[in-house]
Structures are given as C-alpha cells and as structure tokens.
C-alpha cells in the first residue's frame, strides 16, 4: 500500500513538474532565442519530446552569461581610454564603411597597423614561438584547441622558458575544444609559474551545462606590442601532420600597432569574466604605430552581444561590395540574411566566390552545406571545392581594399553561439597580398558542377535533414 501510494505521489509530482518545466523552458526560448528558426526548433522539440528536450536545452540552449555582460561593462572605462588612443592614430582615410564596423566593435578604426599574412601552420607557429622567445613583460594566450602532441608540447616549452625568464604568462583554453588535453599538460605549465585557467572550472559547476557556448578565439599577445589571431589552433593537425586530413590549409595574422590593444581588450574581458581579476593596469596599451601601416580594427563577437555582431560583420562586408566578394571558410551554413546578401551581391554583378574544403571534419556541417549550394548558385554565386587537403581558413576579401581575417566561420555557431574575433583591414596593399593568396587556393580548387539532385541519395537526404538543425550547427 505504501509503495502504491508513493508511486501515485511520484506520478502526480512529475505530472505537475514536467509541464511546468517545459513551460518555463519555452518561455525562456521565446524571450532569449536569437533567431526565429531557433525559436521554432526548440519549442517544437520541447513539446514533442520533453523528457529528452529538457536536458538538451539545459546543455545546448539555456545560457547564463549575464556575468560576462557585467564584466564587459566594468571595462567601459578602458574602452574609452583605448578609443581615445585609437583616434589619436588617425586612419589614412575615412570611409563610410567604417561606421558600421566601429559601432559593432565599440572602437574606432585606427591607422599604423603592421600586418603580416601567415599561411599555414609551420610559418604561423614559427612566428608565434619567435615572438614568445622575445617577450620581456608578459604573454597572453588563448586557444580553442591545444593538443598534447609535438606542436602543443613545443608551445608549452616556449611558454615555460618565458616564465623562467620572469615573464608573466597567462593561458585561457576552452573546456570543450581541449576536452582531451591531459591534466599533466596543465600541471606542467602551472608548476613552471604559468597561470592557466579553464573558464568552465572557474565559473563553477553550472558552467559545465553551457558547452554550446564555446570560446573559439585563438590569440597570442606579447608585451602588448605584437599579437596573433586567426584560424590555427595549437596541434600537429594544424601543421598538416594528421594523416586523416593531410595538408591543412589555414591563415593567421600577425599584428603590430593599435589593433594589438584592441585585441588585448578582448582577452582582458575573457580573463575578467573567468576570474574576476582586472588586468587593465598591468598591461601595456599604447603600442607604437607604424607610419606606413594599414587602417584596421579588431571586432570581437559572442553570444552576449546586444547585436548579432558576427553575422553583421559579414553582412556589412558583403553588402558594401561592388566588384568582388571572395570568402574562404571551412563551413557554409549561413542564415537567411547572409544568403540574401550573397545572392544580391552576385545579382548586382559582383564576382562572388565561396571556397570550401572538398573533405570534411564534421559530417553535419559538411552535409548541411549542400542544401544551400543550389540556392546561391542560381543567383550567380560560385562554389569552389579545395582539393589538396582540408581548408580551415576564415577570410573574406571584398573589392580591392577590404579584408576580414579571424576565427569566425560562415555558420550560425560562429555568428551567435561562439566567442570569436575578426580583424577588419581597410588597405589596398594588404588586400593585394590576400588576393594573391586566394588565387593560389582557387588554383588548387574546382568549381562545384553538380546540383543537389545529381548527388548520391544518401547525400541528398542527409543535406535536407541536417539543414533542419542549422540554427545549432
């Protein structure tokens, strides 16, 4: 009798609590979802399969990042100081296109930036290690993926050597991207005096349920004077040494000048959010500008932004184009606005090309991309497939004077779910170097010739199914 009564009580509790929990989740979805597609997807999922949908929402949909927003507000005084410094290094020219990017970044475009284009892993890592070896005051490091392989251990060796010289070394890594990184790797760094943190560990156990919001940035800053950012994580794979992928084609950027201070601000905000430690006064904020340097601006973006900064970065760049839009990206799962911008650019006569890898590292995004190809090709957009290996660069070139390089892919995850960083460069000589680089890439690629209906049955089905979950890819 007692057992029976207990079962009845449990049934009643669940009968009340489950609808209540579903209702609260739906309310949060309606209040906080960033896109209509995502809203509809979550509401239908919660109503159709609540037992499975509720824990999925806690992990992939629900986020509690108000603390990040609060810490960003703390840095407003530093933002104003940096803004004044950047304005003191006036750009060579003022363009109407500047305004939108400046609003997104909350920072002005500054001149005097020395920019070095780094192609692929060996050149990139050699340049990073050389700068770390020259560090005198501090090194700030942030990566989505660090591996305990030859590249990752060599990286650690350079950081440890810097710490032994008395250099302050700080490292942030993403808990999801570095899931397989052994504790011994971190312990070795900590024992040498490197301050290493996993934000998920620092912010407490609830942050473990926020794995859908990843810090995808790849940043190295040395003494506040030199910095690196781009598409290369720290592992052998990114040197083309993983036989599963072979040649790994990626692009990184070395910065010197005012843009370094702007990138450093993003690092400070991430560190502050994770630790409550403000680094502003400890760092150098006025790097020497190069009199022959380029006009540039660092634009961070993430899920706490009031605006959809990542999507608007690409939308503005594409919309401003009058002659050319060349994009290199590993994933092509765009939202409706980006699709429209690409199609309109092609319809107004621009040379619009999207360069993608022939191979894949993630099945879902690779399949979903095929569902968009026919739509954009009908408007005149060219889809090119890179053949020699896996293409992982994140680059956009428009006309002859604008380049975007950073960590953001052309998908909803980068636009709205990940913390990303992009550099906006307004400079014809630098754009010419990027053009030459991309021409080489296109020479190693072939245009897509087949429509989706001409693809194998499994691909046709997979493409259409995965497109349904595009808002979370």
Gap between the Cα atoms of 156 and 151, Å rounded: 9
The number of beta carbons lying within 10 Å of the beta carbon of residue 10 is 10
Q: Is 223 a catalytic residue?
A: yes
The residue from 216, 252, 254, 272 that is catalytic is 216
Q: Is 441 a catalytic residue?
A: no
What lies within 8 Å, CB to CB, of 280 at 6+ separation is 75, 78, 268
Distance CA 135, CA 221 (A): 10
123 as an active site residue: the answer is: no
Active site includes 216? yes
Cα–Cα distance between 339 and 441 in angstroms, integer? 23
Check 120, 223, 295, 335 and give the catalytic one.
Answer: 223
Residue 218 catalytic? yes
Adjacent-strand bridge partners of 334: none
Q: In this structure, are residues 143 and 174 in contact, taking their beta carbons and an 8 Å threshold?
A: yes
- Tell me which of 394, 411, 427, 441 is the catalytic residue: 394
Token pair, residue 465, equals 């199914």
β-pair partners for 420: 301
- Cα atoms in the 13 Å half-sphere on the side-chain side of 352: 26
Out of 62, 63, 71, 218, which one is annotated catalytic? 218
Q: Pick the catalytic residue: 120, 308, 392, 441?
A: 392
Q: Give dist(CA 424, CA 110) in Å, integer.
A: 11
Cα separation of 125 and 127, whole Å? 5
| 120 is annotated as an active-site residue | no
Torsion, Cα of 331, 335, 340, 346 (10° steps):
0
Ramachandran class of 265: left when φ > 0, alpha when ψ lies in -120 to 50, beta otherwise = alpha
415 closest CA partner among 301, 297, 270: 301
Q: Which residues are catalytic?
A: 216, 218, 223, 392, 394, 399
């Amino acid at each position: 009798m007692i057992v029976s009564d207990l079962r009845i009580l449990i049934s009643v509790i669940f009968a009340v609590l489950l609808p209540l929990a579903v209702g609260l989740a739906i309310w949060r979805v309606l209040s906080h979802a960033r896109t209509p597609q995502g809203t509809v997807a979550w509401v239908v999922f919660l109503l159709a399969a609540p037992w499975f949908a509720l824990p999925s929402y806690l992990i992939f949909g629900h986020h509690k990042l108000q603390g990040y927003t609060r810490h960003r507000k703390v840095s407003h005084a530093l933002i104003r100081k940096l803004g004044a410094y950047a304005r003191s290094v006036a750009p060579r020219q003022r363009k109407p296109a500047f305004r939108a990017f400046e609003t997104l970044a909350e920072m002005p475009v500054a001149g005097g930036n020395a920019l070095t284009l780094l192609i692929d892993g060996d050149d990139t890592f050699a340049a990073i290690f050389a700068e770390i070896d020259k560090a005198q005051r501090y090194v700030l490091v942030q990566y989505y993926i660090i591996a305990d392989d030859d590249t990752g251990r060599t990286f650690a060796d350079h950081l440890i050597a810097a710490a032994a010289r008395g250099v302050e070394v700080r490292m942030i890594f993403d808990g999801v991207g570095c899931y397989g990184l052994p504790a011994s790797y971190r312990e070795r760094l900590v024992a040498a005096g490197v301050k290493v943190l996993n934000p998920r560990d620092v912010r407490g156990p609830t942050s473990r349920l926020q794995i859908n919001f990843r810090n995808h940035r790849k940043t190295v800053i040395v003494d506040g004077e030199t910095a690196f950012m781009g598409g290369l994580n720290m592992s052998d794979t990114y040197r083309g040494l993983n036989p599963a992928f072979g040649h790994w084609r990626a692009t990184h950027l070395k910065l010197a000048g005012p843009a370094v201070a702007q990138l450093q601000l993003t690092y400070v905000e991430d560190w502050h959010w994770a630790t409550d430690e403000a680094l502003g006064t400890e760092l150098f904020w006025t790097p020497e500008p190069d009199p022959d340097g380029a006009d540039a601006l660092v634009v961070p973006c993430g899920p706490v932004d009031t605006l959809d900064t990542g999507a608007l970065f690409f939308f503005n760049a594409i919309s401003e184009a009058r002659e050319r839009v060349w994009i290199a990206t590993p994933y092509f799962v765009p939202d409706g606005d980006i699709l429209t911008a690409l199609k309109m650019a092609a319809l107004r006569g621009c040379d619009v090309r999207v360069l993608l890898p022939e191979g894949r590292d993630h099945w879902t995004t690779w399949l979903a991309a095929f569902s968009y190809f026919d739509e954009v090709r009908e408007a005149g957009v060219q889809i090119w497939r890179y053949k020699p290996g896996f293409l992982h660069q994140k680059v956009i070139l428009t006309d002859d004077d604008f380049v975007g390089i950073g960590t953001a892919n052309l998908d909803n995850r980068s636009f709205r779910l990940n913390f990303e960083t992009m550099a906006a460069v307004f400079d014809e000589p630098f754009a010419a170097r990027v053009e030459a680089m991309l021409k080489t890439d296109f020479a190693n690629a072939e245009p897509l010739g087949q429509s989706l209906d001409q693809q194998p049955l499994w691909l046709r089905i997979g493409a259409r199914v995965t497109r349904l979950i595009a808002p979370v890819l």
